[in-house]
Chain A
Amino acid sequence: MADTEGRAGDAFQAAALLLTDPVGLGGAVLRAQAGPVRDAWLGLLQALAPAGMPLLRMPAHTTTDRLIGGLDLTATLAAGRPVAQPGLLAAADGGLLVAAMAERLPTQTVAHLCAALDTQQVRAEREGVSLQSPARLAVVALDESCGEDRPLSAALADRLGLWIDLQPLSVRDTVAADASMAADVRASRERLPQVRVPDALVEALCEATLALGIDTSRAAWWALRCARAAAAWRGADEADAEDAALAARLVLAPRATRQPAAAQDEVAAPPPPSPPPSPEPAAADPAPDRDDPSATPPPPAVPDEPLADRLVEAALAAMPAGLLARLAAQARAARGRPPEAGRAGDAAMSSTHGRPIGSRRGLPRGGARLHLIDTLRAAAPWQRLRRVQARPDAPPILVRPDDFHVRRLEQRRTTTTIFALDASGSSALYRLAEAKGAIELLLGECYVRRDQVAVLAFRGQSAEILLPPTRSLVRARRGLAGLPGGGGTPLAAGIDAAAALAAQVRRAGSTPVVVLLTDGRANVGRDGQGGRARAQQEALTAARALGAQGGQVLLIDTSVRPEPAARALAAAAGARYLPLPQADAAGMARAVQAVVSAG
């Protein structure tokens, strides 16, 4: 079966659907690296877009002012009264906003996009100006987060109907636009309002979202809109099973978090009694028929198979093979949440990531730094008024203490507490439970101070980051839930990982505090080989390197009797040493608290 071909057809048809109903579909997530395939897709979008439809590109570093609008500094200074300037969201009204490197968007930017998508308008109440304009638009989020990079914000992705993955496609699969297609888009836009979706299809789509474990009501909604747009694109007045199958592939499949029980069986062993239904219902022949819709007879419904099942099958067929395996593994691990649930936490983190997050009114004292532009902005509208009262020899721009704005980030120094847990066999498992408890207690404290916590564990042959810096208790719980124990003690690797994370945290503008929980007895070296003496030696070297970085280190000795090895390690790292044979969560939390607040 021409799997790639079908996928390419879907992906390129999605461009036409998006143009048919931009506002109704919210937009699209386009997973692809920058390259010819993505360019071809965007080129098609551009070529098909009706004349006059705005198609704006939004760089990842777009500021709030540019996005939602605000005070036009130059014009305000020139005019002597506040002059407002609309932003990109208002300019994109009636069209598409293409967000480049969407996975890098700061949380605030994502929130503005989401607000515009939700309300179909943009409001700005900033610096003396009040703006409100319609923003009926669709967002195309270019998601380049391939691999383990920061994923796209889940909040934004949820609001974008179509999820298109171009990664498996090659240049040969691309579709070029021709003039007739642009005319088709116009026709399908006109047809859209009168297209109906029969109740049976709505029910089947909802059922499919449940079967695929999709945990948001929006998915079924997007699927419905997608089916409607597909029908309009075909030139039909009523959506049929084929349109719904396309919706299942474009909307539901990429959001699936589990494989339905029935389908799982089928994959495992094809059940002998039920004859295989009409091969791959609708999944295999999507776009090519577009040119002559009348020639495509509506596929007769297969009577012995409910529509919802066919949709689920269509969705499954559209998933990359690896995904199914991953889902199956996840089902075994029985983690309650969908895989993308943790994504937003990453994005939320970025607001504290050393990025300037705006300014607030105040005087630049006590280490606060002046935000020059915002100070000027605050002063700008008043110039004419102040000029009247000012002496003739006054400076060209009159700034008063009331105008001063200071940068917000520099006002707070956040602390990131990094827990490095010895999860090896020598550290008793119950201590892990206590450590988890302590971490959660500390997280409670962290909300108050807006601090962060990260957790890494080392066992067997290497160290693993269980919880990247976060302050979300939800994520912390999830990260800690699956913590395994047992195996050798690769202490050096653990300390190295802690040091690397500490350095990363420091680069991000936060102060790291490393808390090592171990009995100090290493038996696995950096190369993963056993050998107690060498492992111990390497651990000491690693500890010295950690100590040399500066910053607070606390070593909690978890062995039953205070261990000389642990004490030596603490000395090498310049760490505070704390024997805690009866390690209990509260005691551990108090100890860490003392170190953190001392630092």
Chain B
Amino acid sequence: MPTPFPFSAIVGQDEMKLAVLIAAVDPGVGGVLIFGDRGTGKSTAVRALAGLLPPMRVVAGCRYGCDPKSPSCAEGEPCEARQGSRAAKATLVPVPVVDLPLGATEDRVVGALDIERALSQGVKSFEPGLLARAHRGFLYIDEVNLLEDHLVDLLIDVAASGLNVVEREGLSVRHPARFVLVGSGNPEEGELRPQLQDRFGLAVDVRTPTDLATRVEVIRRRDAYERDPQAFVARWKRDEDRTRRRIVAARGRLDAVVVPDAVLEQAARLCMALGTDGLRGELTLMRAARALAALEAAAEVDLGHLRQVARPALRHRLRRDPLDESDSTVRVDRALADLFPSEPAPRVGAGQP
């Protein structure tokens, strides 16, 4: 693919952009699900990430791209790059944003025995799959609702445990595979199973912009980009750099951000009011609010942050109520309005109906 469209040049879709940024700051929020209308730049936003994220340090030559700070990478198989007593050499590489193509088979996803090496050198060695390639980065699945069930189950399992275990062809390999799972799709083409939705930390609902100015701007920027990608990317470089610096700064700040008890309590109240299942909603809400505070260079999380991330953190965890026709975004908004009546509506997600 040619140079990706710059993330900062995406018109509108603030909630989607925010969710992606939050996941970039704190991969622990647990993945992003982007559902919505066709042609709203869902995959553009994710593919743009590749150009946006600051490079990461890896052990030079390590096939799993492991962190020089961590003691080892794959278990059961020594890290070839670190053999010997010498200290691991580190290099900078771009953060992987791996596209999981539809129709991928299990062996290519989890990895398998390297046939070429086995044949030519008689060595039994593991050929890492897409999961290994996505380690410490992002794994993107377009049309996640069309992915075969057994693959989805597998991905979710690995994403949750951060560990890929391969047992086949006499191989027994365990290697870390910590990645942010990003899925996108269109609900008209089949919905995602609810327990699957729940496994994504944030869920974003994207809509086609309905105002003329935005639509014109979308078309203009795309036209400018397609006519001369290099020049377009160069024009947006300063914005991209600024966003990148914001991510880096927020990551550094993340651990120091304080979550006051009062905010924790409000988060719990909100989740109770909405009847979200389990604690995952509450945890995600807090983590996302903290990442947002870090992005905004705030020392502590306040109610404003909580409100801003409430929709993406909770809307996919609501129980379906057949007698309530309103969609889940509206229900989250209603709960917010009930709990915090004095505050105005959250400002993010202007594209929402």
Chain A contact residues, CB within 8 Å of chain B: 24, 64, 68, 80-82, 107-108, 111-112, 114-115, 118-121, 123-128, 130, 153-155, 158, 193, 197, 199, 202-203, 205-207, 209-210, 215-221, 224, 341-342, 344-345, 347-348, 351, 357-358, 360-361, 378, 381-382, 384-385, 402, 408, 436-441, 444, 447-448, 450, 471-475, 477, 585
Contact of A216 among B37, B99, B226 (CB under 8 A): B37
Complex Cα distance, B118 from A384, in Å, reads 10
Given A341-B188, A472-B191, answer yes or no on A120-B101 (Cβ-Cβ < 8 Å). no
Contact of A217 among B102, B215, B322 (CB under 8 A): B215
Complex Cα distance, B216 from A357, in Å, reads 41
B103/A118 in contact, CB under 8 A: no
B320/A206 in contact, CB under 8 A: no
Complex Cα distance, B44 from A118, in Å, reads 9
Which B residues lie within 8 Å of A224 (CB)? 219, 223
Task: Give the top 6 A-B pairs by smallest Cβ distance, nearest first.
Answer: A440-B322, A125-B108, A218-B39, A348-B190, A125-B104, A123-B101
Complex Cα distance, B195 from A224, in Å, reads 41
Closest-CB distance, B199 to chain A (whole angstroms): 14
Which A residues lie within 8 Å of B343 (CB)? none
**Smallest CB gap from B100: residue in A:** A125
**Smallest CB gap from B104: residue in A:** A125
Which B residues lie within 8 Å of A448 (CB)? 193-195
Closest-CB distance, B272 to chain A (whole angstroms): 21
A215/B37 in contact, CB under 8 A: yes
Given A111-B102, A125-B130, A345-B190, answer yes or no on A206-B143 (Cβ-Cβ < 8 Å). no
Beyond A127-B107, A127-B108, A128-B108, 10 additional pairs, beta carbon < 8 A: A107-B146, A119-B1, A155-B38, A193-B227, A202-B219, A351-B146, A385-B119, A402-B169, A437-B323, A472-B187
Given A68-B101, A123-B101, answer yes or no on A128-B115 (Cβ-Cβ < 8 Å). yes
A471/B189 in contact, CB under 8 A: no
B40/A202 in contact, CB under 8 A: no
Given A108-B102, A118-B43, A125-B130, answer yes or no on A82-B191 (Cβ-Cβ < 8 Å). no
Complex Cα distance, B226 from A351, in Å, reads 35
Residue contacts A-B, CB under 8 angstroms, 22 given: A82-B116, A107-B146, A107-B189, A112-B102, A118-B43, A126-B105, A128-B107, A128-B115, A154-B188, A155-B189, A202-B216, A202-B219, A202-B223, A220-B219, A344-B189, A436-B322, A437-B322, A448-B193, A471-B191, A472-B190, A473-B191, A474-B188
B190/A217 in contact, CB under 8 A: no
B190/A471 in contact, CB under 8 A: yes
**Smallest CB gap from B145: residue in A:** A348
Given A128-B115, A345-B189, answer yes or no on A115-B143 (Cβ-Cβ < 8 Å). yes
Q: Which of B18-26, B204-212, B236-244, B263-271 makes up part of the contact surface?
A: B204-212
Which B residues lie within 8 Å of A344 (CB)? 186, 188-190
Contact of B143 among A111, A361, A450 (CB under 8 A): A111
Complex Cα distance, B1 from A111, in Å, reads 18
Complex Cα distance, B142 from A120, in Å, reads 14
Which A residues lie within 8 Å of B40 (CB)? 217
**Can you list, as one digit per residue, whether each of B309-353 has a CB less than 8 Å from chain A (1) or not (0)?**
000000000001011010000000000000000000000000000
**Smallest CB gap from A123: residue in B:** B101
Which of A124, A206, A439 has the most B CB atoms < 10 Å from its CB? A206
**Can you list, as one digit per residue, whether each of B164-205 has a CB less than 8 Å from chain A (1) or not (0)?**
000011000000000000000011111111110000000000
Closest-CB distance, A49 to chain B (whole angstroms): 23
**Residues in B37-85 with C-beta less than 8 Å from chain A:** 37-41, 43
Complex Cα distance, B165 from A391, in Å, reads 32
